[in-house]
Structure formats: C-alpha cells, structure tokens
Amino acid sequence: MNVHDAAMPLEIETALARPTREEAEAAVRTLLRWAGDDPAREGLRDTPARVTRAYGEWFRGYGEDPQADLQRVFEEVEGYDEMVILRDIRFESYCEHHLAPIIGRAHVGYMPSNRVVGISKLARVVDSFAKRLQVQEKMTAQIAKTIQDVLQPRGVAVVLEAEHQCMSTRGVHKHGVSMVTSTMLGVFRDDPATRREFLAMIGNPVNRAA
C-alpha cells in the first residue's frame, strides 16, 4: 500500500471497492455451482439477476440515513410529556454471520422533552437499520441511540423480539425460539417504575420469553 492509498478516506475506498452488478451476478453463479447445481439450466438462468435485485431491496438500509427520518418534528404538543410508544413494528433483517433471515417485532418508546416526531418515522428508523446485515443486539442499540441523539428526549426504550433462521433452519434446528433484546436510556434506565410501565404497555416480552 502506498502513501496515497493509506490516506484515502474509508468511505471513498469502500465505494471504489464495490463490485459491479455483473461481478455480483457472477458471484451468485459461483455459489450455485458450489451448491451442486447448473446455473446455465433454464430454471436458474435468471437467478443471478433476481438475487442481485433482491439484495438491493433487502439491504437498502446502507443507502438510507436513519437520522434524516427524524428531522421533521412537531413542537405544538400542548405540553404533552408522557410516554410515546409504537409497538409491534414488524421487521425483516439478515444475520451477518450466515445471511439467514431475522424476522421479528420492534417496540419503541420515548419520553419527549418539548417535541415529538411522526410515528411513521420511528418505523422508518427501525427499517433503516433492519435492512442491513445485522446482529440483533447491535441493531437494538443503534435504534435507541439514533432516537436519543436526534430527538433529545428524556429517555428512549427499544425492545426487539425476533426469530433467527440461522438457528431454526440450520445448526441446532430450534423452531419457535425468540430472542429478546432491549436498550433503555435516560428515565427508562434510571427509573424502574417508568421501565415497568413501558414493558407492561408493550405486553412485557421479557416475561413471555421466560
């Protein structure tokens, strides 16, 4: 590596390293051959193109800015400062270890200080992080931190419940098992009563998983 390469910003280096669609399709054909099939046969002939298009949809979160979704806020709330909760946000993500689907629900709550955001924006934040290769623990923290950083509320609570198909369709083959993760910030972390109220309002998934 020369000096110029060493000084190249990471985002530029990553952009230059991104393969073309043709290279991506060639990689899919290689995997099909490795699996033992013939990518030239009729049923698989268009599969590489379909897979690359699907990847563009499944991983569109890399091209989205979740903070931008929260920029439009409403301050005329007549002094409302109680809990705001959006529960049962269905999401689909993919495990970064096996590329297997992670399918679940997110519950998001925050305690506003002097402004609120449209509820669809909370769902968009969840989707922006879900549509990437993920680890559920990391995704939970990313959602909470983004809401906290942009809205500056008195607290944020995020709970994710999900089934990981890397566990149900391979490996130990355990079906119907949900993983529950949570991140509590501000009053949700510091005040046990506020935390209990939030968990009660979303149906306390921690108890359901026990």
- Within 10 Å of residue 39's Cβ, how many Cβ atoms? 18
| Contact indicator for 159, 120 with CB cutoff of 8 Å | no
List, for residues 3-52, the tens digit of each pLDDT value: 344 444 555 555 568 899 999 999 999 999 999 999 999 999 999 999 99
Q: Which of 107, 134, 148, 164 is catalytic?
A: 164
* Alpha-carbon separation of residue 139 from 7, 55, 172 (angstroms): 30, 19, 24
- The encoded tokens of residue 94 equal 């993919």
Q: Which of 13, 97, 137, 152 is catalytic?
A: 97
From residue 59, give the alpha-carbon distance in Å to each of 53, 180, 182. 10, 23, 23
Pair 123, 107: CB distance under 8 Å: no
pLDDT higher than 50, residue 163: yes
Confidence bin at 2 (pLDDT 50/70/90):
very low
Q: Which residue has the higher pLDDT, 168 or 102?
A: 102
For residues 60 and 103, what is the distance between their CA atoms, to the nearest angstrom?
Answer: 16
With a pLDDT cut of 70, the percent of the chain lying above it is: 88
Residue 192: pLDDT over 70: yes
Query: Which is catalytic among the residues 64, 96, 163, 197?
Result: 96
- What's the whole-model pTM score? 0.85
